[in-house]
Structure 1
């Protein structure tokens, strides 16, 4: 087994320390509106979410003091309420609930709270989140932060990626390649012949779905290592550089090597134990490469628990 020199050990510690605190400010690129609604028995109320563009991802998280029916509908469907036939979402909830939808066509949408079957008033507190890059200059009604991603935020994100690559270059041998973050118009993270691109919409959609900045950052970090796996394995002439499972294993092994075992295991266990979240992300992304399925999560847990992984 090769022993690290004192200099390489020092650089290795620097990388570990950097990764232990790296966090992308994903909450800064998501619009959020919070509001309270009181619905008397036998009635219904709705909140309008204005001018949503096609493809926007909207997440809703709420709690109520009792059972209530909830629907998320287009303006056309809203005008026909309660005789709606094609809601984007419809369900019956008690206490706490959450869901996310992808907007099929541009326009106004309504979040409807239906208490017509109730005999007591319902007090509802709800938060609606939308990716700011998807929303552009559109409006979320309520206490919303609006607008597209500002240049300062993008520079901060890119600066962290540049530092991330510089520190990795002190540990691994590879030909430099672009590692960038930008607005792409679609929620993707991908490796190409020229480098790795992390789209801001990808980070936004993860945050809207997971509703937790730490979990989102762990998922983003794993994604970066996954895409690095494709690039580095290609540079090292591996015949399986484009295999997704191999890239997952590379990401798992590298994160463990760099002292991030708890983060990769926490991410995998979260999805393995919550198939509904994994399914929601898979539906939102419509991409079998990057959303972490339950089976892929279980593979990662198996690798993380394998003491022989780093010897391969």
Structure 2
């Protein structure tokens, strides 16, 4: 399903219907999306479904692990907003694999051209995205869905102290100093760094000195291209300094850390270093899914150890 990308800043809408049988998924192609495009998809379904946006290059990962650019929980009216990280073809997927009856979904897609996201719209865009991220985290990990939201905090502090409230001033600062395509990966990295200690506490082991878990977490959850984009930006001294210098404290890695994490990610060591801690934080049903469709980075023995450790002794 082509999306109209005529060179105008106004929002455009495509509308169509997709049907998915029980235990099946169906998709529509979104062709030639430019980098930085804001993509908003809203669905009204006759039976609850999952909604995913997946890059064509990421379809193999989606089929193995469910990794996507963005996903919702199972609902009658799921919706997502996401910034396209790389130019190319994408798929909108109506996922009825957990359903027990057919679902007919009315899909409405709106787009905003790269560079045309009004800063005044950023709060609503961010909160829509965060609501879906929080819901997804609660279905993947052994935690309650965090109350992720963007609201004014009176300073450039990234988060309100001891809360999951992300500073609106911080969010706008990122948008004003980067681009929409870069701002989204940076926000995701900041959120995962904020949530990292909570997830690490779910699996045994001493507090690690290495701080790279948020980057590994992004990749393991299917945000590899976003992670690389964030690390590329933060690994460039002049860009990182301009972004971080005004902040009272930084949720981002230093320049040296960003370069090191990117190097370890390219070599495969970053994921293997955090494999067991990631598995320890997952819900039982997610472990079962990984058992059926293990991703390439996952060592089968590590998954077997985690499942065995949770199996009650006779």
> How high is the TM-score relative to the length of structure 1?
0.48
- Higher normalized strand content (fraction of residues): 1
Larger radius of gyration: 1
TM-score by length of 2: 0.47
